[in-house]
Amino acid sequence: MTFNEYKPSGRIKNKHMLTLMDYSTEEIWEILKCAIDLKKKQYAKEPHPYLIRKTLAMIFAKSSTRTRISFEQGIRQLGGVPIFLSTADIQLGRGEPIRDTVRVLERMNIDGIMIRTFKQSDLEELARWGHIPVINGLTDDFHPCQVLADLLTVYEKFGRLEGLKLTFFGEGFNMANSLMLGCAKVGMNVCICAPKGFQPDPKIVEAARRGAFAEAQVTVTDDIDEAIAGADAVYTDVFFSMGQEKDPVKEAAMMPMQVNAAMMKKANPDAIFLHCLPAHRGEEVTDEVMEGPQSWIFQEAENRLHAQKAVMYLLMKD
C-alpha cells in the first residue's frame, strides 16, 4: 500500500507522542490524512469542534513561536482551551517534581499535556505518572510534531512520499533524529549530512533503519556532494540549538554545509527548501535561499497548525 491508497481507520488510541519511534507507518499516515482533512475544513470555513471543552496544558521550558501558536490556535479551533505554562512561572521551574506536577494537572481536569523541554526522560516521566496524553513539543532528542508538518509539506509539493529523498544539513540533534525516523517510516530516503563529531547517535540511525518502509534508505555522511545529489527536499537547522553554547570550532565545521544558491543548484531541479525555523540567515542558510522560489518555509510553518490539530484530535478525542 502507499500513502495515497491508505484509508483512515481510527487506529490511534490511547497514545502519547513522545517520539516517532513509537509510531508505525500506518499511524503516521493516519495523522497526515487527518491533517489534510482538517486543513481542507479550515480553508472551507467548515467548523470542526472535535475537542469541545477539552483542555491542553502547554508547558514550555524553552522559547517558541510556531509550536506555541500552532497548539494554542489549534486547540481553540477544535473547540478546546489552551493553558500556557512557562517553567519560568510555575513551580516545576523551581524544582517541583514532574510526577507531582502531572498528578495535579490531572486532578484539575486537564485532558492533555504538550511539553517543550530539554531532556527526553522528563517527557517519559510525565507519561509514566499520568494517564493523559503527553505530546513532545521539542526536546534535545526529538521534534516529532515539526516532522509531521514537514512530511505534510513534502506531500503537498510532490503528491506522494515514497521514494523521495530528503537531505538534512546540520548536526545530529532533535531535527536530524526526528527527520530520520519520520522520513524512513513513510518510505522516504533520508540523508543526514554532518561533519564527523556532529553526526547522529548510531542507536537512532539504527532505529530509523529498522522502522523504514518501502526499502527507504537512511544515510549518514559528511560528503556534501553525495548528500545533495538527487535531493527532492533540502533541509537545514541552526548551528546552535536552544540551550547550546556558541562554539567557533563547531561553526567552522558547519559552515561548508550552508544551504546557499550553489548548493540548491546541485539538488533536483524541482527540489524544495525546508527549515523548521527560526533561521539564522548567513549561517546555516542564505537569505537568497530563504526568500527564493524553492523555499517552502512558510507553507511548512503553516502546516504546523494543521499537523498539530491532527495530533491533538487523534490523541485527545474520547
Spatial neighbors of 13 by CB under 8 A, at least 6 apart, are none
Active-site residue among 16, 193, 237, 275? 237
Residue 116 or 306 having the CB closest to ligand NVA: 116
Q: Applying CB under 6 A, does 214 fall inside the site for ligand NVA? A: no
Q: Applying CB under 6 A, does 294 fall inside the site for ligand NVA? A: no
Give the angle 272-276-280 at the CA atoms, nearest 5°.
95
Nearest distance from C-beta of residue 147 to ligand CP, angstroms: 10
Q: Rounded to whole angstroms, how far apart are CA atoms 50 and 158? A: 30
Q: Rounded to whole angstroms, how far apart are CA atoms 231 and 268? A: 6
- Among the listed ranges 86-94, 236-244, 283-291, 308-316, the one in contact with ligand NVA (CB under 6 A) is 236-244
Active-site residue among 68, 275, 304, 306? 304
Active-site residue among 16, 68, 143, 275? 143
Q: Applying CB under 6 A, does 146 fall inside the site for ligand CP? A: yes
C-alpha cell at 253: 565545521
**Residues present in the chain in total:** 318
Beta strands in the chain (DSSP E): 55-60, 81-86, 112-116, 134-136, 165-169, 189-193, 218-221, 233-236, 272-275
The residues with which 211 forms a beta bridge, in sequence order, are none
Query: Is the dihedral angle over the CA atoms 13, 15, 20, 22 positive or is it negative?
Result: negative
175 binds, among ligand NVA, ligand CP, none (CB under 5 to 8 A by kind): ligand NVA
Q: Applying CB under 6 A, does 141 fall inside the site for ligand NVA? A: no
Active-site residue among 146, 191, 193, 232? 146
Q: Which of residues 235-274 bind ligand CP (CB under 6 A)?
A: none
> Which of 30, 141, 237, 300: binder of ligand NVA (CB under 6 A)?
237
Q: Which of residues 125-144 bind ligand CP (CB under 6 A)?
A: 138
Q: Applying CB under 6 A, does 276 fall inside the site for ligand CP? A: yes
End-to-end CA distance of the chain: 29
User: Distances in Å between the alpha carbon of 219 and those of 170, 177, 234?
Assistant: 14, 12, 14
Which residues are known catalytic residues? Answer: 116, 143, 146, 237, 276, 304
Which residues would be at the binding site for ligand CP (CB under 6 A)?
Answer: 64-67, 138, 146, 276-277
Which residues would be at the binding site for ligand NVA (CB under 6 A)?
Answer: 138, 173-175, 237-238, 241-242, 276
